[in-house]
Amino acid sequence: MKSIALFFAFLFLFSCASSTKTEVDTLVTNATIYTVNAAFEKASAMAIKDGKILAIGNTDSLLKKYTSKTILDYKGKFIYPGLIDAHCHFYGYGLTLQEVDLRGTKSFEEIITRLKAFQKAKNPAFIVGNGWDQNDWAVKKFPSKAALDAAFPNIPVVLNRIDGHAIVVNSKVLQMAGITAKTKADGGQIELQNGAPTGILIDNPMELVFKIIPKPSRKTQIAALLDAEKVMFDYGLTTVNDAGLDPDIIHLIDSLQQAGKMKINVYAMITANQKNMDLYFKKGIYKTNQLNVRSFKMYGDGALGSRGACMHKPYSDSPKQFGALLSPVPQLKAVAQQIANSPFQLNTHAIGDSANTVLLKIYKEVLTGKKDRRWKIEHAQVIQESDFDYFKLGIIPSVQPTHATSDMYWAGDRLGKERLKNAYAYKKLLQKSGTIALGTDFPVEEVNPMLTFHAAVARQDVKGFPKNGFQIENALSREETLKGMTLWAAYSNFEEKEKGSLEVGKWADFVVFDADLMQVVSSQMVKLKPSSTFIKGAKQK
């Protein structure tokens, strides 16, 4: 009888102990979790409730306190905060998935072949392609309209260069857009040969062409966003900073998210034209659990690859070219002043050293006396030595490490040896600013964030070139790189209290890898892909 009584007493105590456990939605156990908190601590378990982290710590400890119908035993796999792309063109990338992909082409002849295949498959009335780069070809010169005219004499063709700062079009497009040798080209260039347009347009004049391209239907816009989202989850991205959106697309993103059809988090930078500024100054900052609309995107200059980046001194390989600002300095300052007088953030594209000088001076002037504004310089690609100290003022460099490894083959030709030393200077920028936000600028570069990680740490291409890294003194450590892709990127978005690290009270946005990013040999980084991606505790991949 004694033993029976003891048995029931034990059973009673066990049931009482069990009933004291807190029920949660998900328990993650036996993992190697990089929390990316202030101490950069590791943990092995997380309890998740209502999309947020309720507890994080030791597996045995959490199993004693919490119970769940969903227990994920990761058997030592590696977990990191959800990855953030601090500068990309998410919607634009989605549109490219509906158009002709020209990335990786090795000649203009290969481009014609791809266009003909697209025409045969789709029979379009208007052809748009994206991603060509003459620097990848044997003859590294801009193409002309001649081959397009021969292949497509009656169908308009517009082909966007990989950096989005130059296009080549055929004669049909020039005719439809009303572009001739006499057309003004302020803030850019209409290339001429023998007194006639070659079909190459750089920066501002491209708008004349964009106006005649048929607008995508709502169905196409939705397909673009949802198709892009699938790619993001495949690579472990949980938040994307879309650098330049119009209100219509922001509203569409919001409606898809509110309807539960779109899960990815979006930090939207509104295109900084007067119409959009007037609208959002009136509306104010708009924030949901998935969408944050609190910044404007402004363009200072063009790109280095098309010699549109605005330089203090001429290009080393083209002594008559300086590039150009896309707007006069007073206009850039007027826009910045309006935004400084509002609660919104300003993020400005600046690549050339002259453009960076202009924008950094404007930032300093209009932000004097204003605290914690976190304005960003997007790209911060070529900086004068005397301008680095501006980043001590709370200005955040938002950079793309794969730009360094994509451009390193020819950047020296453009800039010369001395200017190159202060180009792609990510470590130096971090030392001045204290934070650095990392992205890709996709579709200019590949979406894959592991290419970002590898380029930042090793300063090499995927083949391991150059052997000792390109300007290796500006490599980031693995810890700095992970922070730049998580916590610092979240900070640059005013979202560090809700994401960017795995801590109690933050959203359970995380990504699972089979190998450890912090330990794997650098040559293997580019081969890694996450096995799972979670947003707010829900598995997306």
- DSSP letters, 326-351, are SS-HHHHHHHHHHHHTSS-EEEEEE-
Residues pairing with 270 in the sheet: 245, 296
**Strands 286-287 and 265-271, sheet pairing:** unpaired
Cα gap 179→190, rounded to integer Å: 9
* Domain parsing of the chain, residue ranges: 22-76, 99-211, 218-539
Q: pLDDT by residue (tens digit) across 379-427?
A: 999 999 999 999 999 999 999 999 999 999 999 999 999 999 999 999 9
Confidence at residue 400, expressed as pLDDT on a 0 to 100 scale: 98
* Total-model pTM: 0.87
Q: pLDDT by residue (tens digit) across 149-201?
A: 999 999 999 999 988 889 999 999 999 999 999 998 888 899 999 999 999 99
Residue 345 pLDDT class (50, 70, 90 cuts): very high
Give me the CATH code for the 22-76 domain, please. 2.30.40.10
Confidence at residue 163, expressed as pLDDT on a 0 to 100 scale: 87
Q: pLDDT by residue (tens digit) across 284-328?
A: 999 999 999 999 999 999 999 889 999 999 999 999 999 999 999
Confidence at residue 196, expressed as pLDDT on a 0 to 100 scale: 94
Q: Which long-range contacts (CB under 8 A, 24 or more apart) does 188-193 make?
A: 188/302, 188/308, 188/324, 188/326, 189/308, 189/324, 191/142, 193/144
Question: Both tokens of residue 277?
Answer: 């500024």
Q: pLDDT by residue (tens digit) across 476-494?
A: 999 999 999 999 999 999 9
Confidence at residue 436, expressed as pLDDT on a 0 to 100 scale: 98
pLDDT of 468 higher than 60: yes
* Domain 218-539 class in CATH: alpha beta
Q: pLDDT by residue (tens digit) across 33-65?
A: 999 999 999 999 999 999 999 999 999 999 999
Cα gap 33→78, rounded to integer Å: 6
* 3-state SS string for 221-286: HHHHHHHHHHHHHHCCEEEEEEEEECHHHHHHHHHHHHCCCCCCEEEEEEECCHHHHHHHHHHCCE
Confidence at residue 164, expressed as pLDDT on a 0 to 100 scale: 87
Confidence at residue 540, expressed as pLDDT on a 0 to 100 scale: 98
The Cα-based distances of 23 to 27, 67, 71, 384, 452 in angstroms read: 10, 5, 11, 57, 39
pLDDT of 12 higher than 70: no
* Domain 99-211 class in CATH: alpha beta
Amino acid (one-letter) located at 6: L
Confidence at residue 13, expressed as pLDDT on a 0 to 100 scale: 52
Q: What sections of 383-510 are H helices per DSSP?
A: 401-407, 411-420, 426-433, 449-458, 478-484, 487-492
